[in-house]
Amino acid sequence: MRRVALLLVGLAIALSGCEQKEKKTLVIGKKAIDCSLNVDSLVGTDWQMLEILPDKTEKASYSARIRFYSEDGKTMAKYNVKSFSDMYTYECFKNEATGELACKEEPKVKDWCQSLEVGGTPCNAESIKKIDKDVPEAKVTAGIKAAQETIAKYKGKPDWDKFVANNNNLGNKLQGRMYAKVDSRNCRLQITDNYMTIYNGKELEDSNPVGTNPFVPLEDEVLWEHCADATSLMALTERDFPKKPAKTRTTIQHALGAEVHFWLLHPDNLKAKKDCTYSYDVWVDGKPAKKAGTPEVAKGGKELRYYYGQKFDDAGVHVTSFVRFEECAGKKELSSVSCNLVKVQ
């Protein structure tokens, strides 16, 4: 019994290591886990979801990923909500009572106001602040004014019922909300992915598809830019630049092992400014495929042609993204992010 008691005491001491303030480790078998993780030191770190597979094993997947960073003294997060091409921006606040980090998207006061009104709750500064006390006064005032003008256009008109339905349903995602806390037992993050909506005039919070899952550090280079243009990048079966770019349409279905030819065809992307240089990165399924590429120059330097070709050896959905840069007078800036989805079978 004395030996068992000593073993239990030893185990309790080892487990209590995660409760110490200084850097500590939890030893399980022969594996030591660094337990210095805390929500105050997340800035500058990247995280990916740890998926639980059907056979109960775990696999890290960057299909859902989060980057914490600092901007103007604020803790911010980029999170893709497991989207193929979207990247959402959140501002984060520490909840001193719970110790967790609460992150939320920028408030859409106009949309909130519309949902409150059609649901039977008056929209005013008090009702907006009840949803989010951190909304600046100027944004509250401007949002309410814009909502009232929009409501006036529809109320009493034939499309009023449709307007009400669009603004009063449980699937109307009005704000992304993400919560991060430290799983001290496993020394990793636990992320809860929610969204806020307003239904029948009341604020509700529900889970996004990612739900609540463990997240582990992400060291690989992955794409963190949001794709705002899903119509300009075309996936074609032929290598040659299209003779009629404006009338060219993308091909979604492609054969396994066949080369897919991607061309960026929006007119604004093809124009070259005088004394400026251009480059682009290509990302496939969130991973780098081509860095610092130079577009082909045509029509005496007046037109730029962005191209990338690839054979896909894995069946399924694949997303290719072009991230364009423009450098003028020595200043390099992000110009656009375009993406395309293909189905390979």
pLDDT digits (tens, 9 = 90+) for 238-250: 999 999 998 999 9
Which carries the bigger pLDDT value, residue 274 or residue 263? 263
Question: What is the side-by-side strand order in the sheet with 303-311?
Answer: 233-236, 259-264, 303-311, 296-298
Per-residue CA distances from 281 to 44, 176, 182, 225 (Å)? 23, 29, 35, 11
In the block, residue with structure tokens 């639980």: 52
Residue 326 and residue 337: Cα distance in Å, rounded? 12
> 285-331: per-residue pLDDT in tens?
999 999 999 999 988 878 899 999 999 999 999 999 999 999 999 99
How confident is residue 20, by pLDDT bands cut at 50, 70 and 90? very low
Instruction: Report the chain's mean pLDDT, rounded to a whole number.
Output: 90
257 burial (CB, 10 Å; 0-12 / 13-18 / 19+) is: exposed
Q: Give the dihedral of Cα atoms 96, 92, 23, 215; nearest 10 deg.
A: 120
Residue 34 and residue 186: Cα distance in Å, rounded? 9
Neighbours of 154 (CB within 10 A): 18
Mean per-residue pLDDT, 263-291: 92
Residue 144 and residue 127: Cα distance in Å, rounded? 11
C-beta separation of 195 from 174 below 8 A: yes
Q: What is the structure's pLDDT at 272?
A: 87
Could you give the angle at which helices 109-118 and 160-167 cross, rounded to 10 degrees? Answer: 120
Per-residue CA distances from 319 to 27, 218, 228, 230 (Å)? 41, 20, 14, 10
118 burial (CB, 10 Å; 0-12 / 13-18 / 19+) is: buried
Mean per-residue pLDDT, 188-205: 97
